[in-house]
Amino acid sequence: MTVAEVLRIGKEWRAGELTFASINPFTQAPWAAVPEATKVDVDDAIAAAREAFDHGPWPRLGADERAAVLNRIADLIERDADALALAESQDNGKGIREVSGQIKALPAWYRYFGQLATGMEGRVVNTGKPNFFGYVVEEPVGVVAAILPWNSPLFLLAFKLAPALAVGCTFVAKPSEVAPVSILRFARLLEEAGVPDGVFNTVAGSRPEVGQWLVASDQVDKVTFTGSDRVGALVAQSAGSHLADVALELGGKSANIVFGDADVDAAVNGLLAGIFAAGGQTCIAGSRALIHSSIYDEVLDRVCKRAAEIRLGNPLEMSTDMGPLASEAQFLKVGRYCELARERRIDIRYGGHPSELGGWFFTPTVMADVDDAHPVWCEEIFGPVLACQRFTDDAEAYAMANASPYGLAAGVWTNDIRRAFAAVRQLRAGTVWVNTYRTMGPSMPFGGVKKSGHGRENGVEGLREFLQPKAVWIETEGAVRDPFTVG
């Protein structure tokens, strides 16, 4: 039985004349009917955000007043965490164990940015001119359009929404057609928390036109996008046509490097966490394992044994380690890469095929000695496929890790503190984890280099993505200057 969702546009909750189905990846059956936004819906959502920014109270509130609303949002997330996690797991098939952890972590994001915004200050500038007083204030960038992915909808929304709300921006969110429900339901919590009408709007659609209409509007001041580098390039091109600012968090093919002096137990656990948590459907997946030749065989053997113990099953059961892949398209994509590996005689040590459970379940897969020109090594698969290579010295490891068009994250496993610091300096990545993987928090910036995007989310850097400086010059002596020279 399907449940009906609605869009939040200005003061309205719109059901829409046409709907599309959100498919539960575990049952492969529709479980929610989602409104198919029209061009009118998108235009109205942008207009509502524009009106709320230009004339509404939200940007004009004191930072402490906005922070109070963000704290109420955090309280409501805590109250409804189980229901939000259930909706998201039904939408994208991710295990409830992981989704629950993400949702329960979200209040920290809203509280952190509420507090951070209250501490933001302007600065007085020495103008170098005795008759001028100068200062700089930072103001909200305006109307923000956000296009969200399906793998962690509410978690990745918080990266964008919490700082944007904290500084006074207004917002239009377009969730993925694969997993739209949790974000649409989240809009009700924002209304309950006291977010004014028009400040947070939602549009959804199964067609690419919905996102295209949103990004192309010249009433949008900032576009923030999480997704593939291919689509990100199109988003940047469209937003650039009307000179909107763009922040892009794109793909990754991250290296997880195990040096010969590493704690093998910890490293094996980190390799599993990097690629099999969330079924590998995460941009920061440590999908390339670089293992020192002295321990390569031991680590590979232990990773395969641990992969065989991973429990696939109903994502709504806490005992499940991996649920199904999020969609048929993703299931088929992972299968194509594994078939390509077999055709080229890659050594598939474990897995490499659909699970006997059927549906969209795919076995955790480990491939050994993968050629560095093979697509499995070079391209983002976004699934539970670990490609392994060996290295002999540190310089080789850094060169292999950096020989990728992506630069989102990297992992380093070593007990030598000097080697750890050297690795951090050498690796071209937006995040480097040392003796851990997939650790995140609101105070640490997140983003990539190269084809992994530009701009940062989280931390002070993430807050500044939604601010723009204004320079103020005040003449203090009443002097009349030559109008034909620079003052």
For the segment 387-427, what is each residue's pLDDT rounded down to a tens digit? 999 999 999 999 999 999 999 999 999 999 999 999 999 99
- Rounded distance between C-alpha atoms, residue 44 and residue 427, angstroms: 45
Alpha-carbon dihedral sign for residues 160, 162, 165, 171? positive
Alpha-carbon dihedral sign for residues 139, 144, 147, 148? positive
- The predicted pLDDT at position 480 comes to 86
- The predicted pLDDT at position 237 comes to 97
- Rounded distance between C-alpha atoms, residue 121 and residue 6, angstroms: 39
Domain with CATH 3.40.309.10 in the chain: 255-434
Average per-residue pLDDT for the chain = 97
C-alpha separations of 339 from 343, 352, 353, 373 in Å: 6, 8, 8, 16
State the amino acid at position 88 in one-letter form.
E
Tell me the CATH architecture of domain 255-434: 3-Layer(aba) Sandwich (3.40)
- The predicted pLDDT at position 486 comes to 82
- The predicted pLDDT at position 481 comes to 84
304 catalytic? Reply is: no
Q: What are the structure tokens assigned to 33, written together?
A: 């009917």
Three-state DSSP state, 29: strand
- The predicted pLDDT at position 427 comes to 98
- Rounded distance between C-alpha atoms, residue 287 and residue 387, angstroms: 6
Q: What are the structure tokens assigned to 431, written together?
A: 């995040």
Closest CA to 374 of 410, 419, 401, 343: 343
Stated pTM of the model:
0.96
In sequence order, what are the beta bridge partners of 143?
Answer: 170
State the amino acid at position 60 in one-letter form.
R
Q: Which residues of the chain have pLDDT under 70?
A: 1
CATH T-level topology, domain 3-250+452-471: Aldehyde Dehydrogenase; Chain A, domain 1 (3.40.605)
Under the phi-then-psi rule, with left for phi > 0, alpha for psi from -120 to 50, and beta for the rest, what region is 203? beta
| Cβ partners under 8 Å of residue 12, min gap 6 | none
- The predicted pLDDT at position 479 comes to 81
Domain with CATH 3.40.605.10 in the chain: 3-250+452-471
Active-site entry in 5, 249, 380, 465: 249
- The predicted pLDDT at position 415 comes to 98
249 catalytic? Reply is: yes
Active-site entry in 283, 304, 338, 388: 283
